[in-house]
Amino acid sequence: MKVYKSGKALEHQIAQTELPEQALALWALGQEGFLVKWKQKMILFDPYLTNWVYELSGSPWSRAFESPLQPSQCLDVDYVVCSHHHEDHMDKLTLQAIGQSSKTKFIVPKAHLSLVKEWGLRDEQLIGISHGQSLELGDGLKLEAFAAKHEQFEQDEAGEHKYLGFAAYFGSIRLYHSGDTIGFPELVTWLQSRQIDIAMLPINGRDFVRNEQGIVGNTNYREAVEIAVQINADLLIPMHYGLFPHNDENPAYFVDYLYRNYPAKKFHMFAPGERFIYMK
Ligand SMILES: Nc1ccn([C@@H]2O[C@H](COP(=O)(O)O)[C@@H](O)[C@H]2O)c(=O)n1
């Protein structure tokens, strides 16, 4: 798979992107990694910018495309937000490298605070978040966490959910980044009252063959579409495809399903490294 823009050209584009308050810019970085710029703030969701999964687990976990950005190009980001501790979402090498920044704060599930401290991130860089909690992040930016079901809910001894999704409020623009999850009725109920504009959901699905390989599943393209429809999201962004061929889905099936069933529903399918500007 080709990367649309990467390296210095992408870094330059991010720095040069100026936006009115009612707009935000999104860059897809692969899997569930997205950079959001709004006003002068930058927030990075689930960045997997290295080859750490392959280094840990070997074949078949090699990347299908290079990361559009290197961690060292993300030192100006205000917040890195991680949904759960799977290495393609909470990547030790990416976090350690961005942790060299004196600016960036890391928002992780409270269940994983001790782990990221073991990785060398310092207390003052870290913010833990729990299901049901909201964080005010300044300038009208707010983040709210919701439990996710990476097939199941999983909680630590203290009852902290290990899988989270996030509603991020950029002024009046409301974005939901699901993390890794399947669909479940409470999720729809929680999100219906949040009036989400942009819903970002995985489409890689799940099956017993992948379960037998230790791969935990997510919403498939039908479920992603149906959740977006039920919460009345304005725009649907499919994610979690294209990076690992053995845990993938063809995004054309998502487009086909959406086009046949909800032809008026807006979506955007990204190429890695592509910028998309959303204006409310
Ligand atoms: N044999 C395996 C099975 C799974 N992993 C881990 O799974 C992660 C991918 O799952 P997500 O749905 O969270 O993207 C991947 O990061 C590995 O940590 C593995 O390493 N080996």
Q: Is 32 in the pocket of ligand 1 (CB under 6 A)?
A: no
Q: Angle CA(85)–CA(115)–CA(110) in degrees, nearest 5?
A: 70
pLDDT for res 12: 98
pLDDT-based confidence at residue 189 (cuts at 50, 70, 90): very high
Dihedrals phi, psi of 124, to nearest 5 degrees = -70, -10
Q: In this predicted model, what pLDDT tens digit does every residue of 92-133 receive, in sequence order?
A: 999 999 999 999 999 999 999 999 999 999 999 999 999 999
Q: What crossing angle do the helices spanning 251-261 and 221-230 adopt, rounded to 10°?
A: 40
The rounded distance, in Å, linking the Cα atoms of 242 and 200 is 15
pLDDT for res 112: 98
pLDDT for res 21: 82
CA distances 127 to 122, 234, 259, Å, are: 10, 30, 40
Dihedrals phi, psi of 279, to nearest 5 degrees = -120, 130
Residues 6+ apart with CB under 8 A from 76: 15, 42, 101, 103
Q: Is 53 in the pocket of ligand 1 (CB under 6 A)?
A: yes
Q: Is the pLDDT of residue 2 over 90?
A: no
CA of 57 to the centre of ligand 1 (A): 9
Q: Is the pLDDT of residue 261 over 70?
A: yes
Q: Is 216 in the pocket of ligand 1 (CB under 6 A)?
A: yes
Q: In this predicted model, what pLDDT tens digit does every residue of 33-92 receive, in sequence order?
A: 999 999 999 999 999 999 999 999 999 999 999 999 999 999 999 999 999 999 999 999
Q: In this predicted model, what pLDDT tens digit does every residue of 145-169 receive, in sequence order?
A: 999 999 999 999 999 999 999 999 9
CA of 223 to the centre of ligand 1 (A): 21
Identify the CA nearest to 167 among candidates 219, 203, 131.
131
pLDDT-based confidence at residue 269 (cuts at 50, 70, 90): very high
Q: What percent of the chain has pLDDT over 70?
A: 100
Which domains, and CATH codes, for the chain? Answer: 7-279 (3.60.15.10)
Q: Is 180 in the pocket of ligand 1 (CB under 6 A)?
A: yes
Q: In this predicted model, what pLDDT tens digit does every residue of 192-217 receive, in sequence order?
A: 999 999 999 999 999 999 999 999 99
Question: Which atom of ligand 1 sits closest to the CA of residue 218?
Answer: 12
The rounded distance, in Å, linking the Cα atoms of 120 and 115 is 9
Identify the CA nearest to 266 among candidates 239, 240, 218, 232.
232
Q: Is the pLDDT of residue 1 over 70?
A: no
Average pLDDT, the chain: 98
